[in-house]
Amino acid sequence: MTKYIVGVDLGGTRIKIGLVNTNGDIVQEWSIPTNKEKEGSMILPDIVTALNKKFERKEIVKKSILGIGIGVAGNVDYKTGYVRGAYNLNWKHKISVKSELQEKMGVPVFVENDSNVAALGEHLVGNCKLDDSFVLITLGTGIGAGMVINGNLYRGATGCSGEIGHDTVVPNGPLCTCGKRGCLETVASATGVVNVAKMLAEQTSQVSQIKDSLKEHKNISSKEIFEAAEFQHDEFAKEVVDKIADYLGHASADIANMLNPNSIVFGGGVSAAGEFLRRRIEHYYHYYVFKPNEEATKIKMAGLQNNAGIVGAAALVMDEI
């Protein structure tokens, strides 16, 4: 009987799910929307339904499932599987992810912060296989960081390490889901990119299709802004990307000065901008970093991109069974 591991990447917009074999290869991948209505009370039932439907369709028996690994934004108690502070999921209280899924699915469940899970994936089969110490910054609906220090995942005293998305970078800036203002993720996540565009649109006289769309209150995505900057030579969009790169370069310099890792790696949906974004982050990183750390720490893009969460969640299970 072929054995599988389920990897779940629970994001603020979509839930990505994968069936992974024991070699770490994704053999089946799909996603469902993240339903944040009613304080996110349907998120875990939706995952259970999605898995049961897939198992039935593929004629997969639960005996062949070694376990379920799940990466979720927020403060995760790795041992108990409780999650709190998952603001991007609209979970306002502590949620028992591990026990609820384990009870419904009848297989072992392991829960970890989504950035830590992505870091595990990059360390195993991604761009950080040779890095003893690195920090993976995930840029999605929110921003988080997973840290591998001297070959080991670093969780901190209470499992709340890596919450770089809630560093204040713009005092009295946009309101964050955590209740504070001006957090890094309000100006550099997928939604943050649009926030920056809206702020800069009021300060520039440049002709720009992106700016015009914003002034007409049309919905604009971070992807459209990056594409306008890179491929359409939209000067306003370039200004937006430059500002975001400034914030991320500054954050990278702070990390390098504090931890002196081999690399700082960018993953998540926003990182799909690739080398176009990486070069700009690196420019500001060199400007802000303490010079003795400048060459020691490299700025890289994640190798697994959007699959890091699934592969890392599966790795979480493989580490435990």
Crossing angle between the packed helical segments 274-288 and 235-259, to the nearest 10 degrees = 50
Q: Tell me if 48 sits within 8 A of 6, measured CB to CB.
A: no
Can you tell me the mean pLDDT for 134-158? 93
pLDDT at 131: 96
Can you tell me the mean pLDDT for 181-203? 94
Q: Tell me if 195 sits within 8 A of 170, measured CB to CB.
A: no
Domain with CATH 3.30.420.40 in the chain: 4-120+307-319, 130-301
Q: How confident is the model at residue 26 (pLDDT cuts 50, 70, 90)?
A: very high
> Tokens for 319?
């580490």
Choose between 248 and 93: higher pLDDT: 248
pLDDT at 88: 84
153: three-class secondary structure by DSSP: strand
pLDDT at 248: 98
Can you tell me the mean pLDDT for 24-28? 91
Q: Tell me if 202 sits within 8 A of 188, measured CB to CB.
A: no
Q: How confident is the model at residue 107 (pLDDT cuts 50, 70, 90)?
A: very high
Q: Which amino acid is at 137?
A: I
**Contacts for 52 with CB less than 8 Å, ≥ 6 apart:** none
Task: State the first-to-last Cα distance of the chain, in angstroms, to the nearest integer.
Answer: 17
| H helix intervals, 59-189 | 97-105, 114-125, 185-188
Percent of the residues in the chain that have a pLDDT greater than 70, as a whole number:
100
- Rounded Cα distance between 147 and 145, Å, is 6
| H helix intervals, 106-234 | 114-125, 185-188, 190-201, 209-215, 222-230
297: three-class secondary structure by DSSP: coil
Q: What is the CATH number of domain 4-120+307-319?
A: 3.30.420.40
13: three-class secondary structure by DSSP: coil
Q: What is the DSSP letter of 203?
A: T
pLDDT at 130: 94
Q: Tell me if 296 sits within 8 A of 260, measured CB to CB.
A: yes
pLDDT at 159: 82
Choose between 26 and 85: higher pLDDT: 26
Q: How confident is the model at residue 147 (pLDDT cuts 50, 70, 90)?
A: very high
Q: What is the CATH number of domain 130-301?
A: 3.30.420.40
Q: Is 112 a residue whose pLDDT tops 90?
A: yes
Q: How confident is the model at residue 202 (pLDDT cuts 50, 70, 90)?
A: confident
Query: pTM of the prediction?
Result: 0.85
pLDDT at 92: 86
Q: How confident is the model at residue 157 (pLDDT cuts 50, 70, 90)?
A: confident
Choose between 232 and 215: higher pLDDT: 232
Q: Is 283 a residue whose pLDDT tops 80?
A: yes
CA distances (Å), 185 to each of 27, 48, 53, 182, in order?
Answer: 33, 30, 35, 8
Q: How confident is the model at residue 272 (pLDDT cuts 50, 70, 90)?
A: confident
Question: pLDDT tens digits for 44-83?
Answer: 999 999 999 999 998 888 899 999 999 998 889 988 999 9
Comparing C-alpha atoms, which of 211, 296, 318, 221 is closest to residue 252?
296
223: three-class secondary structure by DSSP: helix
Choose between 135 and 178: higher pLDDT: 135
Q: How confident is the model at residue 126 (pLDDT cuts 50, 70, 90)?
A: confident
| H helix intervals, the chain | 37-40, 43-58, 97-105, 114-125, 185-188, 190-201, 209-215, 222-230, 235-259, 274-288, 291-294, 308-320
> Tokens for 129?
């296989």
Mean model confidence pLDDT for the chain:
93
Percent of the residues in the chain that have a pLDDT greater than 90, as a whole number:
74
- Rounded Cα distance between 65 and 63, Å, is 6
